[in-house]
Amino acid sequence: MVRVLFADDQVPDAKLVSDDQIRSHYAKLYPNPPDFADGFVFMRHMVKRLQDEAYEVAAAATPNEVRRLIRDRAYDVVVLDLCWYAAGSRHDATATDLGWQLAQQVKSAAPSAQIIMFSHQFYENQELAATAAEKGCLPVYKTYDDACARNLLVTVKWAANRVSAQTGRIEELKDFDLGEYKLLSRLLLVSIAAAIALLLVSVLFVVVNLTAATVISSTFAIVVTTVDALLVKYIRMYRGGTAG
């Protein structure tokens, strides 16, 4: 199952069970702008819709929650708020700093995670979308309507498919590497058996004083032993590269 982390400062308190409770509670805390409280209702429904899509979803409403969750486990897709106003970000040029910092921390904790940067700032400042792309994040414009929800669901699905494709490719490479290693191991065993047999034949020829045959047999034994040594060296290098 694809693991999704939904990290936004408008994720509502789980104790508030209805839309009216959520709207009333946050309207008192954040009276301006007027629609800010609606964002908490939207986020509650957004998390539910992701769960309905059969994703394993964890939600974080504070930067510290984000840090704790990414420390405890790896996520495949992270929907990340850019401006954490409810968490104390100022409405100035530094408003995006926390979002970029969290994105970097997510990448450090889970390099393969797909990060979707979710912000209304992409409309107000279109250069931010380009910046998000440069930082390896997918920019999605945040509104509190159904069109935004559908757009985000599609983007999460695309990111999840990308992660699944990458994971599948890695497993294919692992299977291929394991098969190659088994083949080399069999070749090594056969070569060692052949070297031992040739050495025994050489000893037998020495006992019966067959000089020419002894030379030929010994030469083959040396060649096979050299091949064995090269195979052993290659397998050790291969195992070291695989472990790395």
What's the average model confidence in pLDDT over 43-53?
A: 96
pLDDT digits (tens, 9 = 90+) for 117-158: 999 889 888 899 999 999 999 999 999 999 999 999 999 999
Q: What is the CATH number of the domain that holds 62?
A: 3.40.50.2300
Task: List CB contacts of 59: < 8 A, sequence separation 6 or more.
Answer: 5, 6, 7, 11, 43, 47
Q: Is residue 61 part of a domain?
A: yes
pLDDT at 168: 58
Q: Looking at the predicted structure, is the pLDDT value of residue 116 above 90?
A: yes
Q: Rounded CA gap, 41 and 43, in Å?
A: 5
Of the chain, the percentage scoring pLDDT greater than 90 comes to 52
Compute the average pLDDT of residues 186-195. 68
Query: Can you give the pLDDT at residue 33?
Result: 83
Cα distances from 27 to residues 41, 44, 79, 119, in angstroms, run: 11, 15, 24, 20
Question: In this structure, are 187 and 92 located in the same domain?
Answer: no
Between 234 and 10, the more confident residue is 10
Instruction: Answer yes or no: is 151 within a domain.
Output: no
Residues in the chain: 244
> What are the tokens at 96?
């995006």
Detail the DSSP E strand segments found in the chain. 3-7, 56-60, 77-81, 114-119, 137-141
Q: Which residues have a Cβ under 8 Å from the Cβ of 192 and sit 6 or more positions away?
A: 228
pLDDT tens readout for residues 52-110: 999 999 999 999 999 999 999 999 999 999 988 876 666 666 778 899 999 999 999 99
Percentages of the chain per state (helix, strand, coil), in multiples of 5: 65, 10, 25
Q: Quick check: is 90 in a domain?
A: yes
Give the least confident one: 45-49, 175-179, 226-230.
175-179
- Tokens matching residue 117: 């940067």
Question: What is the structure's pLDDT at 170?
Answer: 47
Instruction: Show the tokens assigned to 188.
Output: 């090594």
Structure tokens at 201: 């034949």
86 domain residue, yes or no: yes
Question: Is 103 found in the same domain as 18?
Answer: yes
Same domain, 111 and 218: no
- With vertex at residue 165, the alpha carbon angle to CA 160 and CA 168, rounded to the nearest 5 degrees, is 125
Q: How many domains does the chain have?
A: 2
Q: Whole domain around residue 238: which residue ranges?
A: 173-243
What is d(CA 108, CA 102) in angstroms, rounded to the nearest whole number?
A: 10
pLDDT given for residue 237 in this prediction = 63
Identify whether residues 44 and 138 lie together within a single domain.
Answer: yes
Residues 121 and 44 in one domain: yes
Within a domain: 89 = yes
Q: CB within 8 A of 119, min separation 6: which ones?
A: 81, 82, 83, 96, 99, 128, 139, 140, 141, 142
**What per-residue confidence (pLDDT) applies to 86?**
73
Q: Which two tokens stand for residue 131?
A: 């910046």
Report residue 67 CA to chain centroid gap: 16
- Residue 123: phi and psi, rounded to 5, are -80, -40
Q: Is the Cα torsion angle 149, 105, 138, 54 positive or negative in sign?
A: negative
Residue 92 vs residues 57, 181, 225: alpha-carbon distances, Å: 31, 57, 73
Cα-to-chain-centroid distance, residue 214? 60
